[in-house]
Amino acid sequence: MAVDDTSHPLIRVQGISKHFGEGETRVDALRNVSLDVHPGQVVALRGPSGSGKTTLLNVIGCILDPSSGSMELDGERVLEGGRWIRTDLRRLRLDKIGFIFQFHNLIPFLDATDNIALVLQLAGAEVGDARARAINLLDYLEVGHRRSAMPAKLSGGEAQRVAIARALANRPRIILADEPTAALDSKRAGIVMDLLRKVAVERDAAIVAVTHDEKIFDRFDHIFSLRDGALDHTGDA
């Protein structure tokens, strides 16, 4: 897909480093990582186990404090010199970021609609409005016919679509996915990636996915390869 790289990036990571411990026990999980992700892009983070992929995703998701570096999300400078400028990170995540995980993590005692509506209610929406929005999202992701199904009754692909709908509940333009297709077969993995592409294009969103799943590598606009906490430019796609 052609992406206008002159647009302002939705995600701008500049010189992000993260270390754990000090002295002889210090481990550098990220080393001076910089990257941009633009509206409409679907990009991957790949690399061997321990390369820093999930650490980087958690920094972008404002879950993990970096040791140094700066970051902008959706036009807002949220991190400068390794310190958070935006103090209410919970609200930042709720407003700007949607999360998708390898395992859907749906609440087992809520049906598909209420799993999504709950996120909206936590953000302050009325129950009726939240359920209406949830149903619209399920229809958008072509799983509206399963709106009353409990998670245990959903197939793996259906459950992952519900999880994507939940991630879109508050209309974030940044979607972070951790191994979103690892639990799916090739056909269902392709469907999920096509849906993420649809979201990126139609909602002008930026999607970053950590993945080892080689069967979906051709679905990304760019693949950032990490090794030992640093970008491995020789392995980039």
Give the separation between CA 48 and CA 35, rounded to whole angstroms: 19
Report the predicted TM-score, pTM, of the whole model to 2 decimal places. 0.86
Give the separation between CA 131 and CA 21, rounded to whole angstroms: 45
| The pLDDT of residue 6 is above 80 | no
Enter the tokens of residue 66.
């970096």
Task: Tell me which of 157 and 121 has the higher pLDDT.
Answer: 121
207 beta partners: 42, 175
- Under CATH, which number does the domain 11-235 receive? 3.40.50.300
| The pLDDT of residue 1 is above 50 | no
pLDDT tens per residue, range 69-127 = 999 999 999 999 999 998 889 888 888 899 988 777 899 999 999 999 998 998 888 99
| pLDDT confidence of residue 2 | 44
Degrees (nearest 5) of the Cα angle 211, 143, 194? 35
Give the separation between CA 228 and CA 213, rounded to whole angstroms: 20
Residue 48, phi then psi, degrees to nearest 5: -65, 165
Contact at 8 Å (CB) between 175 and 98?
yes
Q: What is the DSSP letter of 23?
A: G
Count Cβ atoms within 10 A of the Cβ of residue 43 and give its class: 0-12 exposed, 13-18 middle, 19 or more buried.
Answer: buried
Lowest pLDDT segment from 89-93, 174-178, 185-189: 185-189
Sorting pLDDT into bands at 50, 70 and 90, what band is 59?
very high
Domain ranges of the chain: 11-235
